[in-house]
Structure 1
Amino acid sequence: MDRRTLGTTGFDVTEIGLGTWQLGGDWGELTDEEGREAVRAALDEGVDFLDTADVYGDGRSERLVGEVLDERDAWDEVTVATKAGRRLDPHEADGYDAENLERFVDRSREQLGVETLDLLQLHCPPWETYYRPETFEALSDLRADGKLAHYGVSVEKVEQGLKAIEYPGVESVQIIFNPFRQRPAERFLREAEKRNVGVVVRVPLASGLLAGAFDADEEFPEEDHRNYNREGEAFDVGETFAGVPFEVGVKAAEELEAAVPENATMAQFTLRWILDHDAVTTIIPGSLDADHIADNVAASSLPSLSVDRHRRTEDVYDDYVREHVHHRW
């Protein structure tokens, strides 16, 4: 699998990584062993970038990632990114202070079983956080103390990403970007590339819509966020189906199938579309299925999509999706 350099971190990471939200929950029930098997399957496919967070299963995801890397003695071969901040209750900008951040970082170090976190990302903090230099100074202090090697921000909105990269210590931004969320390509990706900031793309398959996996009658388990967060009841609605109303997304995905090459799946087409944007460093689709993980990894080997296929993707976005998402994120 091809690799790209993550901003100024010096980490050369695989174009396809693994998001481990599923290991913590919110996607249905699973056992610890099923979670570990997903990480093993990704490593077996050559994936060397794993993304997790301290709130995924209240630390469960971090713990399972750490256990597999210990088991494989693979820490020197893999970059692990985690996130902090969503443990705050209430989740307010004032909570992103030095004391809380150090507490969160220490907990993640313990859950993963490491002295130094490879990459610590603020976890979609409130808007006001981006105007608190002391928050980013606290991260720099934690880096100087050896508790983390690099830091970045996971954002909901393009404007937040643009503000975050004004801080020189921010080396990466995690953002939602896919054929149903195209706004980052207008300006953000260009600015990130100009500043040599790594870009980690999450929710690439729009919670499965862009894998062509669903019809309009699809039902999801009660504990699956695709059931309980469709209107943003639990967290930002943009994290579920990329913010696209489910029925609209199903129809748009059906229309997009005409752009998919014969030798590719819908998921591979989607991931290749994202990788065709050079500013993207790595993509972190989440899956517990070994075959799906292998399918995702194979997208890195596909040739770039033609101009006509990119144009068709833009047309579907304009016709079905833009009005629902473009002005919001």
Structure 2
Amino acid sequence: MRRGRDAAPHGQGGHVMTAAIVADGVRKRYGDIQAVDGVSLHIEAGEFYGILGPNGAGKTTTLEILEGVREPDEGRIELFGKSPWPRNHELLTRIGVQFQASSFFDKLTTRETIRLFASFHRLGARQADAMLARVGLTDFGSVPADKLSGGQAQRLSIACGLVHDPEIVFLDEPTAGLDPQARRNLWDLLRDVNQEGRTVVLTTHYLDEAEILCDRVSVMEHGKVLKTGAPAALIRELDDMVRVSVESGLVAPDVLRGLLESAGVDNTIVEDDEVSLTVATHTPGPVLSILADQGALRGLEVRGATLEDVFLQLTGREYRA
């Protein structure tokens, strides 16, 4: 059974599991840019682990160093106690990688592509075709790989990284640019991959994705890890206000502020953007009661803090190119 999102990763009997990935004081510089600045991670075997951050935070470079694709300037990296750099051929059979951008051979079909990747690991057509079925692409086996839709191409890319049955799977923004249905289909696949016992490490810009899928996350900014923890635990630490929203125009903001003050409801923020009237509060009960008395419940939405609120508090709200 899969552990809950709050649970620390443990093995049987409460003993801490063996680390699948350890990074200690990792740094990487490109000219004047410090892409990774002292990153330390401890990822347990079987964890679903997310690396989050705005553009330029160092997520992809960190992932590539963990994969053994890039050499760090400083620091220690171990996968199952072994260094991935220089390229460790013993580890290559134990890790699977899906890169941020998928690029397939122009002349190969989907089936030929997965069989080619299987051959790199001395696997036959049977294993390759079984993986194609696993990701729901059997019916597209004769389609040129470069003609697949975005979601299909991402599934093929993940299949190529899984065909040799790795113990660790690295995924760099696997659902970027996909429509909601394709994203959720990939979520189901990734959950299955993790529930089979594999360690999954992904970078993502989608905070709802990380909150749903990940056991723990690390939030990065300017090459540093700012915070690490289970999504639910990070949200609780935030102690953010609950937001109660209704349709704008049902009650005037000044009137509502007066009613809240008269009722002794302190520390509230009332905002009206002419679409929604929103009250941020630590005591939503009295706010709901007052809105109900005013007959102002149309379009009611009550939202607690999310991982997005944690992310924005840590990294700020300014635009990132």
Tell whether the structures are fold-level matches, with TM greater than 0.5: no
Q: Which has the larger radius of gyration?
A: 2
Structure with greater strand percent: 2
Q: TM-score, normalised by structure 1?
A: 0.36
Higher helix share: 1
